[in-house]
Structure formats: structure tokens, C-alpha cells
Amino acid sequence: MQEDAGTAAGAADEEAEVLARVRAGDERALASLVESYHPAMLGVARTYVKSRDVAEEVVQEAWLGVLKGLDRFERRSSLKTWILRILVNTAKTRGGREARSVPFSSLAPADEHEPAVDPERFRPPAGAFASHWSAYPSDWGAQPEEGLLGRETVDVVKRAVEALPASQRAVIAMRDIAGCTAQEVCDVVDVSAGNQRVLLHRARSTVRAALERHLDG
């Protein structure tokens, strides 16, 4: 616990230093901030709009919003959460014009009782090995690294993520692409901890199923 507290304090001190340097007009600090967050922002923006080009425009617009509001940032949340909230609001506005974005407030809560894995993947609930896997998921650790990291595999993941419902797409992008914590996702898109957990689980299950079909044939 003490180590975690020390890590959090160190991160907060580092964030405060970066923030002070950017506010003072330090271009190197700003460039470092953009370099750190741009890939994550692009990944999240891509879940709200139709193309990478539009996502790039959304990220650029979000950075303008960040620079305009930097003096008013009161650190009630982390800098990362604040930046991503501006990005999501910008992306929702742009995505709404493209008739693709769906506000989280309009989405039905995730059903925690809906199975995340096809029930047919398991044995019947009676008899030997009741409700166990009928065929265990593959061990991809045995796959050649070039197969797991190949362009075709990456494209499978991208297509699977893009095909997800809007709520799942946004949550998996923030957790697995942007590297956000569960709490940061809840703060940015205003969902409960339980709903965030279910949405992420369903998204990951769907993407894993797509990978199974690709890697296992």
C-alpha cells in the first residue's frame, strides 16, 4: 500500500511539473505531452468516427481545446482524464454529425447475466464434467511471434473492435489501447464501475473470439 501511495504521489508530482512547464510556454514539454497521449487519443477517437483521417482531425481539435482550457484546469482529476474527456466530447460532437456516435447516456446498462461466451462452448449441465469447456481455448503462447504480431492478425483485431457496439468499443479502446485505468474510464465516459467491467469483458470476449477464428482456423 505504501509503495502504491508513493507511486501515485510521484506521478502527481511529475504531472504538476509538466503542467507548470506547459503553462509557462515550454514547447518541449508540450511536444512531450502530445507525444505521450496522441496514440491513445487517436485510438479512442477512432471509435467515434468513420475514418482515421477524421480521427486525426478530432485529436487536433481536442488539443486546441486542451491548450485553450489549460489555465482553467484545476486538477480535480488527473491531467490524462481531463484531456481524454475533452477528446471524447469533441469526438462525440464530430461523430454525431456523422451519425455514428451514440451518447453513453442513451445506452442501456450492460446485462451482467447475459453470457459473454457462447453457451455451446461448454458441456451440458449434467453428467461427467458438467458445464466444463467442451474444447478448451487454444494456448496462443505456442504460436510463432510473427503470427501473433503479423499485419493480418492486427487487422483482425481492428475489424473486431470497430464492429463492437459503441459502448463496448469506447471502453475497450480506453482500457486496452489508451491504457486507462477502470476509474479513468468511469470518470471520462460517466459509467458505473460495474457497467464498465461488464462492457470491457464482453468487448474482450468478442475480440478474442475473432482471434480464435483467425488463428485456429
Taking only the tens of pLDDT, the chain with its 217 residues reads 555 555 556 667 788 898 899 999 999 999 999 998 888 898 888 888 888 899 999 999 999 999 999 988 988 888 888 999 999 999 988 876 655 444 444 444 455 555 555 555 555 556 554 444 444 445 445 555 544 456 777 788 888 888 888 888 889 988 888 888 999 999 988 889 999 999 999 998 888 888 888 776 5
| In a shared domain, residues 87 and 11 | yes
| In a shared domain, residues 212 and 109 | yes
CB-CB contact of 174 with 167 (8 Å): no
Domain count, the chain: 2
| In a shared domain, residues 78 and 150 | no
Q: How far apart are CA 47 and CA 44, in angstroms?
A: 6
Helix axes 52-69, 27-45, angle to 10 degrees: 140
Last residue of a domain, one of 97, 122, 144: 97
Q: How far apart are CA 116 and CA 71, in angstroms?
A: 44
Last residue of a domain, one of 77, 97, 117: 97
| In a shared domain, residues 114 and 84 | no
| In a shared domain, residues 76 and 170 | no
The CATH number of the domain holding residue 82 is 1.10.1740.10
Q: How far apart are CA 194 and CA 116, in angstroms?
A: 15
| In a shared domain, residues 109 and 210 | yes
| In a shared domain, residues 200 and 169 | yes
Q: What is the pLDDT of residue 192?
A: 92
The CATH number of the domain holding residue 128 is 1.10.10.10
| In a shared domain, residues 63 and 120 | no
| In a shared domain, residues 63 and 147 | no
Cα separations in angstroms, 161 against 130, 157, 166, 196 = 32, 6, 10, 16
CB-CB contact of 45 with 162 (8 Å): no
Could you tell me the residue range of the domain that residue 91 belongs to?
2-97
Which residues are bridge partners to 133 per DSSP? 122
Decide: pTM greater than 0.75: no
| In a shared domain, residues 126 and 203 | yes
Q: How far apart are CA 212 and CA 47, in angstroms?
A: 23
| In a shared domain, residues 156 and 113 | yes
Is the Cα torsion angle 17, 61, 89, 167 positive or negative in sign?
negative
Q: How far apart are CA 71 and CA 69, in angstroms?
A: 6
Last residue of a domain, one of 72, 97, 122: 97
Q: What is the pLDDT of residue 106?
A: 43
Give the start-end residues of each E strand in 2-86.
none
| In a shared domain, residues 88 and 33 | yes
CB-CB contact of 87 with 41 (8 Å): yes
Q: How far apart are CA 215 and CA 203, in angstroms?
A: 18
